[in-house]
Amino acid sequence: MSNTGKQILEGIRILDLSVMTAGPVGTMLLADLGADVIKIEEPGHGDLSRGLGNLFMNGESVQFMSQNRNKRSIRIDLKQPEGVALFLRLAKDADVIVENFRPGTVKKLGIDYDVVKEINPGIIYASGSAFGQDGPYAMWPANDPIVQAVAGLMEMTGEPDGPPVRIGAPLPDFGTASMMAFGVTAALLHRFRTGEGQQLNVSLLSSSIFSTIPRDGETLVSGKSPERFGSGHPTMVPYRNYQGSDGQYFFAACFTVKFWANLCNTIGRPDLLTDPRFKTNTERTQNREALDTILSDIFATRPASEWVAILSAADVPAAKVQTYLEALTADPQVKHNKTLVPMQHPVAGDIQTLANPVNFSKTPATYRKPPPVLGEHSRDVLADFGFSVAEIAALQASGVVSGSRLEK
C-alpha cells in the first residue's frame, strides 16, 4: 500500500462487485478518498439500482447516480468461465474486493476469498449481507426494511397508539456502508504493517443493532423493549416535537438540568422547576403527559420559528422540523457545509450528489468522476491492468466484456 498523492487511499485498487445501496455507498466513501474503485457489473442491466425508482435523467437512474460517483464501470459476464478467469486476473493486482451478493454466490461463481487469496495473499476481501454469511436467516431474501423489522427498529418507531413504522431513510444500509468502509481501511492499515490480507464480513443486522446504542443497555437491564413515543424519548423529558400557532412543528430537547432550567425561565414558568412532578428528569419522565400538556399550550401561542429563535437565544436546543427539500436546498447551515456537490454527467447532464461527510485538513475528499454509465470504462480498465488492444478486442467480441452506450 502506498500513498502517492494528497489523498489517503490514492494507489489503492478496489474491485467493486456490490449492488443496490450498502456496498456501493461504502465503496463510494473509499473512492472519495482517492481509491480507484472499479465497478464490475453484469452485462445486461448492471447494478440493480440502475433500474430502480421512478426518476431517470436521460435513462440514468437518479438512485444509482446518488451512490456511485468516483468509480469506473466495466461489464464482465461472470457466468462464463472466461469472465471468471478475467476477474481473477484483475484480482491478482487488486488491493480490495467488495461484494454483497447473497451468501454463497461468489463461491458458486468461483471468485470467493479462498480462491482469490491463493493468487493474491494480500487481498482484503469484504463481504456484505443482510443477516450474515451463515446462520438461520443467512439465505433469506432481504433489504433495508426487512432488517429494520428483524432488528426491532420498526417496533420502536412510531406513535404510541399507532403501528410500527419504517424509518424514512435507509439507515441500516448507510450504517453498514460506514462499517464496511471502516473495516476496509482498518484492514489496509493492518496489511501495511504486517503484509497480511484478510476477509471481513459486515451485515445490515449487526450494524442496525449496533446503531441502537444506548437502547441496548436500557433494554437488557430492564428486561423491557423500548416503548413507542413518536418524536419523544423514552428516558428524557421534555424531548419531542411541539406545534406552534402556525401549525408548524419544532423540536425542543432538554437533556441536561441547565437546558431544563433555561426552558422554564424563558417561557415564564420558573414554577415548573420546583413542581414536585417535574423537579428531576426521572419525575418528568413519569409525568410526561402532564408536562407535555402544559408545554403544548404555551407553545401554541407563537409560531414555531419564533419559538426556535427564542429558545436558541436562551441556550435551549431547538429546531424547526424542515422538509427534506428545505434541508437540501434552503437551509443556510447545509449550504455553508457545502453538502451538495455539483457534477457534470456525460448523459444526465448537470447533477448533484451529497458530499463526503468527513472533512480532512490535509487529505480532503475529491469528486473526480461522475457516476459511470454502464460499461463506460471497460476498455480503459483492462488497458490499465495490462491487457493488450488485441486481448480487449477479443474479450468484447466474445461477449465476456461489454462497452457502454457512449461508444459509437
| Residues tagged active-site | 173
Cβ 2 vs Cβ 11: under 8 Å: yes
User: What is the C-alpha separation between 375 and 73, in angstroms, rounded?
Assistant: 5
Determine how β-strand 349-354 pairs with β-strand 56-57: unpaired
Distances (CA, A) of 204 to 45, 137, 144, 368: 25, 12, 7, 29
Cβ 167 vs Cβ 191: under 8 Å: no
Please count the CA atoms within 13 angstroms of the CA of 381 that sit on its side-chain side.
32
Residues 6+ apart with CB under 8 A from 274: none
Strands in 100-232 per DSSP E: 124-129, 198-203
C-alpha cell at 118: 491463493
- Residue 260's nearest CA partner among 315, 214, 313, 319 is 315
Rounded to a whole number, what is the distance in angstroms from the first to the last CA of the chain? 38
Taking the CA atoms of residue 97, residue 98, residue 103 and residue 106 in that order, the dihedral angle to the nearest 10 degrees is -40
Cβ density class 379-401: b for 16+ within 10 Å, e for less: bebbeebebeeeebeebbeeebb
Cβ 17 vs Cβ 40: under 8 Å: yes
DSSP 106: H
Cβ 57 vs Cβ 346: under 8 Å: no
Q: What SS3 state is found at 124?
A: strand
The neighbour count for residue 80, using CB atoms within 10 Å, is 14
